[in-house]
Amino acid sequence: MIPKYTKPLYPPGPWLYWDIEAVIAMATFRAESVEKILPRGVEVLGDEVMGAVWIARYPRSTLGPYNEALIALQVYVNGEPYFYIPYIYVDNDAALAAGREVAGAPKKYAKISLTWQGRSIIGIAERAGTRIEVRVTPEYRAARELLTSLLSSEGTPLLSVRILPPVQGEGGLSDLIAWRAKVWFHEAMNDVKAWAGSANIILESGAEDNVGDLEITSVVEGFYAFFDMELGVDKILGREEIAG
């Protein structure tokens, strides 16, 4: 019999978040650099891939307060669109464990900050030489239609790979997991509490992660936004055995 934990590290999903503060930079990436890191059965369309670099502060959530940084890339599985997450970092053990064990998000612990420098807000994540930096200069109110098309209350489809490693010659499993982020933007003066403007992204590879191998072809726009969110897992899209 497998004993139960005396107290679980994290609650079951879906996980809820309130009062998120985030900087998000939309960018295009060279498709060839993206294809190199995609799991089998996942593909991109065209020579460029739309994606986002996201650094956020989560002051209140069912996983506790924490900060997060991630890269999300638009991909397709059997013609259906998703945002694949190859790199994601947090500074909270419950969020790390829940993300890896349930959703397959490849979360790692990192030093993450969100600070103002003059008129710009800068998000930085650092781990073992890996550095992700997003600088956004808010200049005008963000368009509600654009924001809600990217992050909607209906749910933005996400994609990750969950690995159960082989042990002592026994085979493991690799699962392609579909999960979802539902977002509700805060309101201010009868509009979304979000601003847009110019943005800059820095991706530097370190000892563990080659984020710098993702080639950015253009930075489209940056956003600084406040919202609530729900994260939940939808289903397993595919499963492969890993030889022991």
- Alpha carbon dihedral 207, 210, 211, 213, in 10-degree steps, equals 140
110-119: pLDDT as tens digits: 999 999 999 9
What CATH number is attached to the domain comprising 173?
Answer: 2.40.400.10
Q: Which domain holds residue 112?
A: 15-242
Give domain status of residue 6, yes or no: no
What local confidence, expressed as pLDDT, does residue 3 receive?
A: 65
In a domain? residue 89: yes
Res 1: pLDDT: 52
Looking at residue 132, what is its pLDDT? 98
- What's the domain count of the chain? 1
In Å, how far are 38, 129, 142 from 191, measured between CA atoms? 37, 40, 9
To which residue do tokens 């369309």 refer?
Answer: 45
| pLDDT range class, residue 6, cuts 50, 70, 90 | confident
Evaluate whether residue 117 is within a structural domain: yes
Beta strands at 216-242 and 194-204: parallel, antiparallel or unpaired? antiparallel
Assess whether pLDDT exceeds 80 at residue 234.
yes
pLDDT digits (tens, 9 = 90+) for 133-149: 999 999 999 999 999 99
Q: 79-126 pLDDT, tens per residue? A: 999 999 999 999 999 999 999 999 999 999 999 999 999 999 999 999
How far is it, in rounded angstroms, from Cα 74 to Cα 157?
A: 10
pLDDT over 70 (residue 191): yes
